Structure 1
């Protein structure tokens, strides 16, 4: 995941907004991932 972010960030003009969405969605994704046994 980290490699893809580093490769895509320079190409994004709105990297800051993208990071905000990632940080906000990451919290939701972690909680959902914990509920799904397949991802763990």
Structure 2
């Protein structure tokens, strides 16, 4: 039981990190587009 909970916690951390990375990439792409317009 303990290991299953631990697995879910680790999985959640990975998903949060991936989501944060994805959002950061989207922000970077938007900044690049803004710079290209200037």
Structure 1 length as normaliser, TM-score?
Answer: 0.42
When Rg is computed on C-alpha atoms for both structures, the one with the higher figure is 2
Higher helix share: 2
Higher relative contact order (CA 8 A, sep 6+): 1
Structure 2 length as normaliser, TM-score?
Answer: 0.43
